[in-house]
Amino acid sequence: MQHPPIVLEGYRNLHYEIREIVDFGHALQRLGRPITWENIGDPVAAGEKVEPWIKEIVADLVAHDERSFAYCPSRGVLATREFLAAEVNAREGGTKVGPDDILFLNGIADGVDKIYDLMKKDARVLMPSPSYPTHTSNEGKRGDYPHLQFKLDPEKGWLPDLEEIENKVKYNPQVVAIMIVNPDNPTGAVYPEETLRGIVGIARKYGLFVICDETYANILFNGGETKLLSQVLGDDVPGLALRSMSKDVPWPGSRCGWIEMLNRKASPAFDEYCDVLVKSKMMEVCSTTLPQMALPRIYGDPRFQALKARRAKMFEARANQIYEYFRTVPGVIARPVHGALYYSVTFEDGVLRPGQTLPVADPTVRAFVEKSCEGVAPDKRFVQYMMGSEGVCVTPLTGFHTDLNGFRLTLLNPDDAERARTLERIGASIRAYIGA
C-alpha cells in the first residue's frame, strides 16, 4: 500500500549531534571498544554528587506532601511562580513581572520546541553560530529554511559582531526575534553587558523581541560578568528568558524549566504570542510537580549561594586546565572561557584534509569507522577516528550548526587525574591526525 508523505517537510533540520554521536559510541562498545564519554552535559551522570541537604528537601516533599504526586496548575505551582517573580523583581534595574509571567515547562527543551513551533511559518529567528542545536533544529523544522545565523568568533573570545547582527536583521525583514545563549553552550562565552545592550538596541530599532537561554546563568567564573535579560530590556522591548534547575542543583532529570515572559504588554503581537505559549502548555495539563515544589526551598536556602560559589570555583579550575593544555597543541585554537559547562576547540584552517586517519588496532572496529566516515564533516571524521583509536567521545563542533571545524568537551569529569589523561589522549590524537 502506497502512503502519501507523512513527515513534516522540516524534519531534515532535526539534528542533535550531542546525542547522535552516542549511537556511534554504543556501536563501538558492542564491537569491544571502551569509550570515555566527554559529550553530554549531565553533571550527575558524570559523577557530581547532589548535596545531601537538597536530597533531604526532595525526600521530605515526597514523604509528607501528597500534592507532590498531583497535577499542578498549567502555568506551574503558584507559590513557586510567586517566588521566581519576586526574584526577577529584586534584580537591579530589571523589568518587573508577576507570577503569571512565569511559565513552567518540562525542561528548557520543551519550551524551545513550543517557542519556535508556535511562530508563523515564514517568521525567522536570528541565532548564533555555533548554536545549541535544540534551538537551531526547532527553528529549521518549522519553516524548512536554511538557518539564519550570526557568527561567534573564537579569535574574539567567541563574541558576536553587532554590525553583522544588525545587517542580518536589516536585510531579512522576516526576522521577528534574536536568540542568544548566555553563558553560551557550546563555547563557554559570556556576553558582556555592553554586547547585550547592543543586541537589545537592535531589537528595539527593528521591532523585534529577544530570546535568551539562561540555563547557565548561575555558572560564571574567570571573572565573567554579565546581566540577565530582564536587566537590559528596559520597559519597551519584549523578551523571553529561559531558566532551568538542570545545571544549577544539578538535577537534569527533573526536567524542570521555566520561561520569564518579559514586557508582555509592550507589544500586542508579543502578548498574543505569550498567551498562545500558555494555552499550548494547557494542552499538556502541566509540568512535573515535585521539582517545582522543591525549587523555592532549594534556591531560597542560604546553602545554595555557597553551593553556587563552590561549583563556580570547581568549573573554573577545570576550564583553565583544559585551556592550558590545548593552547600548546599545534593546529588548534583555544581560548579562555568564562561560564557554562563546556569548552570548544577549533581547528586552524587547512589542518583537516581528506584521507587523514588514525590507527585502529581492531580490524572490525577499523572497518566500521572507515565506513561511518564516508561523507561526514571533516571534524566529525576526526572525532569518529579518535573514538575508534583512543575511545574518547567528544562532540563535533559542526554539530552545533557552524562551518567551524572543531569539537566540544565538557567540564564535568570530577577526577582531575583522569581528566588530564583524557586531554593527553585527545592531544595525541590531534597531533597524529593532522600529521597523517
CATH 3.30.470.10 applies to domain 64-302: no
Average the pLDDT over 96-106 and give the result. 97
Q: Quick one: pLDDT band at residue 350, thresholds 50, 70, 90?
A: very high
In this predicted structure, the answer to whether residue 222 has a pLDDT above a threshold of 80 is yes
Identical fold between 9-48+304-434 and 64-302:
no
Q: Which three cell numbers stand for residue 103?
A: 511559565
Which pLDDT score, from 0 to 100, does residue 10 have? Answer: 64
Q: Strand 257-262 and strand 239-244: pairing? A: antiparallel
**Could you tell me if 312 and 220 are in contact, meaning their C-beta atoms sit under 8 angstroms apart?**
yes
- Domain boundaries in the chain? 9-48+304-434, 64-302
φ, ψ at 97 (rounded to 5°) = -135, 165
Give tens-digit pLDDT for 142-155.
877 788 999 999 99
pLDDT at 8: 65
Three-class SS state of 346: strand
Cβ contact 99:93 at 8 Å? no
Closest CA to 345 of 364, 359, 330: 330
Q: For residue 41, what pLDDT is reported?
A: 85
Model confidence at 17: pLDDT above 70: no
Q: Return the minimum-mean-pLDDT range out of 102-116, 163-177, 320-334.
A: 102-116
Confidence of residue 20 (pLDDT cuts 50, 70, 90): confident
pLDDT given for residue 290 in this prediction: 97
Contact 385, 373 (CB under 8 A): yes
Residues 6+ apart with CB under 8 A from 239: 95, 209, 210, 211, 212, 229, 230, 233, 260, 262, 263
Residue 5 has pLDDT above 80, yes or no: no
Superfamily of the domain at 9-48+304-434: Aspartate Aminotransferase, domain 1 (3.90.1150.10)
